[in-house]
Structure 1
Amino acid sequence: MNNKILIVDDNPKNLQVLAALLAENNYSVEVALNGKSAIKWLQVATFDAILMDVMMPEINGFETCETIKKDARHADIPVIFLTARTDVESVTEGFERGGVDFITKPFNQKELLARLSTHIELKKSREKILDLNGWLSSEVEKKTEELNESYQRLKEANENLKQLDVAKNDFLNSISHELRTPLNGIMGSINLLNTYTHDKHIQEIVTLLDSSVSNLEKYSYAALQISNLQLKGISQLKLERLDMLPLIQSIVSGFSEKVKAKNIQCRFTMECIEAIAEADREFIQNALCALLDCSMIFTRKGFIKVIVSCEEKQIKVKIVDTGSPYEGKELNHFFKSVSNQNYTFERNNAMELYLARMIILLHNGTLEFGNMAENAGTVTTVYLPCKMN
């Protein structure tokens, strides 16, 4: 099916030229001579994109676009303005009213076709991601229902509880692999889109899509790790004698780009000469990265301090930030369940932080959360047994 375009312009000659150009390039075209006609068109038809003249009688293109965008059914239709106005105020108003791009009159035909194609492809990519989310929800519900039925059968038959853990682990493995295949396809498509466009606003949309897909992949990996640790416990760990100081220093350095991008300070302080633990390097690194990343996400200005000390045969890693505080009083029970059903917090990255707490507990450590006085920030503290010489 050809992509359907609505052209809105009060100049019949302009309509004729644009309609002919788009028809020659296999677009299905409808026209409107003013903003009111365009709004009426959208009550009876759907479009893949709208080319909108700005200067029109009664209601101009900006006002028409704003009216269209108020209807949730049309919120995702890209509106591209055609105008001779290139002043900053006009461009700013156009984006504020809901437009996605400006094409200056007289326009270059190849440029118009390229930009129109790009915005339609971006719209389709967003729709694919929404479809993917719906599919994922359906799959999770289906698999969850299957898991509940398996649980009831296991309970009724008095089978060993370990069989339930194995079934759950298989379920999460399946979900993880099913997620990765479509996610890899989406990430490839996003990279392709990014290659073919140099428009700043389009690249911002592509960056947002890329971030969302990366988060989905990250949570899939965390869910799989949680399942494996619940099933196998400490046997999953490869314990070694590990100096925490260079490890944590490396972790902090790895966040340098995020720190620079957010214009905040991140300082690492050592209050001991060495901090030796018996730990699994990969797992303990993942746990500390998740805790630091949580502070990074919720700190919009100010600083983050990472302080390592040794006291009373324990290694103490304290992360202090000036970010938004935790809500509620029962901070020690923040992770009573991975779904976090019993407590509500403003700061919540439950999947990864639940995994971090599990890793620390398997290392015979503890994890504490707290707010600084007058809600000036938060303190996250990790305690690990110190390996004595």
Structure 2
Amino acid sequence: MNILVVDDNPRNIQIVGNLLKEQNLKIAFATDGSKALELTREHEFDLILLDVMMPGMDGFEVCRKLRTDNRSKNIPIIFLTAKTDSASVVKGFEIGANDYVTKPFNSHELLARVKTQLELSSKRKQLDQLNRNLEKKVAERTIELANANRRLLRLEKSKSDFLSVISHELRTPLNTLTGITHLLQNTPLTDEQQDYLQAIELASARLARFSEMALLITSLQTGGQLPEMFDLKVNLLFEIAVFELRQAIEEKKIHTKITLPLEEIMLFGDAELIRKCLIILIENAIKQLPEGGTVMLEAAILPDNRINLHVSDNGPGFPADILEVFGETVPSRDNLVRNMGALSLTAVKLIMDVHGGSMKIENNPNGGAKVNLLFAGKE
């Protein structure tokens, strides 16, 4: 530890110096303020013992100058002073002193105060070093995160581009296949050939739906589809979805029931995205229902002003793996492969996320599946 002793009296310097050297401390000295300032510019000190009453530049002025210099502004300063009046003591602290010792000083008191300031100085330096290390680590981590984010964005773009290409590559042969199957429908076929044709049509429809769903999910995840928000009538949303699925509803003789409160419910959202939500949920219900089953569409305004749209049925309900999967943000790949319903429900959840809402799936106690779509109500 290096200590600078500043006093115009060589005798005082000698006494203080001998006392500190006994503690294995390194000592430098100056007999005036100018020399003290010069030494602090050339060397590093851990503590300064500064006499107040010196000719020319007194200790107060030296302290002021030390505190305005970046090289010395944090060095602890103990005033050595014969002035014991409160005004002088307060003045010393105001201009930057850390402590003071009155003359004539007691050697034990001086050493105790020196030790205290050196320990505090050491702790401050350690803290400064820790802060510098922390700032360095934060800067390094920030760079790592920025690089990782750039890589993630590139991967997201690659995924989006890949799915777009896959969708395009699927659509072209699918359109051809669909055209051929339509032509074959008007051609005399054996029962076995009719079965093959029906299998091809079902597989083509499944592939087309998978392609559309994958593109929708990618678009929602990457921000490629921003919602166009308008005030929408819930009854019209229900009626449009049911109308678009009328063929599938009629083929399985499905009963549809729409239940609305007397008061008209207006929903603030993207009409196209909400339409897709409802169609996905109704289609899923139809697929699981036996012939003659029922799909129920209901809407209600909750006490907290949120709007709840729910689609339910009297079918077998959700399988356990689907209920488990949608406790997560995104279904696992295995579940997606096993169940197209998981992929479509992922799309619904992402659409609700875009609207700042939420999706909840459950099985009714008396049988059947139920999906709740919760939208924020107007303020």
TM-score scaled by length of structure 1: 0.54
Indicate which of 243, 246, 253 corresponds to 1:256: 246
Match of residue 272 from structure 2: 282
Q: Distance in 1 between matches of 2:330 and 2:319?
A: 17
Aligned length: 233
Match of residue 358 from structure 2: 366
Q: Distance in 2 between matches of 1:184 and 1:344?
A: 24
- CA deviations 1:171-218 (Å, max 9, x no partner) are 111111111111112112212221222656533432331121022011
Match of residue 285 from structure 2: 295
Match of residue 192 from structure 1: 183
Match of residue 378 from structure 1: 369
- CA deviations 1:124-166 (Å, max 9, x no partner) are xxxxxxxxxxxxxxxxxxxxxxxxxxxxxx9996461222211
> How far is 1:230 from its partner?
1.1
Q: Distance in 1 between matches of 2:161 and 2:341?
A: 24
Q: Distance in 1 between matches of 2:208 and 2:312?
A: 28
Q: Distance in 2 between matches of 1:282 and 1:363?
A: 12
User: Residues 314 and 385 of structure 1 are in contact (CA less than 8 Å); yes or no, is this contact kept in structure 2?
Assistant: yes
Helix, strand or coil for the counterpart of 1:225? helix
The 3 A distance-change label for structure 1 pair 220 and 320 is same
The 3 A distance-change label for structure 1 pair 181 and 256 is closer
User: Residues 319 and 379 of structure 1 are in contact (CA less than 8 Å); yes or no, is this contact kept in structure 2?
Assistant: yes
RMSD: 3.0
> How far is 1:326 from its partner?
2.0
Match of residue 299 from structure 2: 308
Q: Tell whether 2:169 aligns with 1:172.
A: no
Q: Tell whether 2:314 aligns with 1:326.
A: no
269-278 vs 192-201, which deviates more? 192-201
Q: Distance in 2 between matches of 1:361 and 1:157?
A: 27
User: Residues 340 and 350 of structure 1 are in contact (CA less than 8 Å); yes or no, is this contact kept in structure 2?
Assistant: no
- CA deviations 1:250-293 (Å, max 9, x no partner) are 21233332222212311111124222222111111111110111
> How far is 1:296 from its partner?
0.8
The 3 A distance-change label for structure 1 pair 304 and 347 is farther
Q: Distance in 2 between matches of 1:320 and 1:281?
A: 21
- CA deviations 1:104-127 (Å, max 9, x no partner) are xxxxxxxxxxxxxxxxxxxxxxxx
Q: Distance in 2 between matches of 1:373 and 1:243?
A: 30
Match of residue 349 from structure 2: 357
Rg: which structure is higher? 2
Q: Distance in 1 between matches of 2:289 and 2:209?
A: 21
Gaps of 5+ in 1: 1-153
Gaps of 5+ in 2: 1-143
> How far is 1:347 from its partner?
7.0
The 3 A distance-change label for structure 1 pair 338 and 205 is farther
Q: Distance in 1 between matches of 2:325 and 2:294?
A: 26
Match of residue 256 from structure 2: 266
Q: Distance in 1 between matches of 2:339 and 2:171?
A: 27
User: Residues 247 and 285 of structure 1 are in contact (CA less than 8 Å); yes or no, is this contact kept in structure 2?
Assistant: yes
Residue pairs, 1:129-278, within 5 angstroms: 158=148, 160=150, 161-197=152-188, 199=190, 202-232=193-223, 236-278=226-268
Indicate the percent of aligned positions where both proteins have the same amino acid.
24
The 3 A distance-change label for structure 1 pair 271 and 188 is same
> How far is 1:244 from its partner?
1.9
User: Residues 335 and 354 of structure 1 are in contact (CA less than 8 Å); yes or no, is this contact kept in structure 2?
Assistant: no
User: Residues 217 and 347 of structure 2 are in contact (CA less than 8 Å); yes or no, is this contact kept in structure 1?
Assistant: yes
> How far is 1:333 from its partner?
4.5
The 3 A distance-change label for structure 1 pair 271 and 163 is same
The 3 A distance-change label for structure 1 pair 157 and 329 is closer
The 3 A distance-change label for structure 1 pair 343 and 165 is closer
Task: State the one-letter code of the partner of 1:295.
Answer: A
Q: Distance in 1 between matches of 2:165 and 2:339?
A: 29
Q: Distance in 1 between matches of 2:214 and 2:180?
A: 25
Helix, strand or coil for the counterpart of 1:232? coil
Residue pairs, 1:116-135, within 5 angstroms: none
Task: State the one-letter code of the partner of 2:161.
Answer: D
- CA deviations 1:347-378 (Å, max 9, x no partner) are 7512222111110121111111111225x212
Q: Distance in 1 between matches of 2:325 and 2:274?
A: 21
Task: State the one-letter code of the partner of 1:316.
Answer: N
> How far is 1:340 from its partner?
3.3
> How far is 1:343 from its partner?
6.6
Helix, strand or coil for the counterpart of 2:361? strand
User: Residues 233 and 265 of structure 2 are in contact (CA less than 8 Å); yes or no, is this contact kept in structure 1?
Assistant: yes
Helix, strand or coil for the counterpart of 2:359? strand
TM-score scaled by length of structure 2: 0.55
The 3 A distance-change label for structure 1 pair 213 and 338 is farther
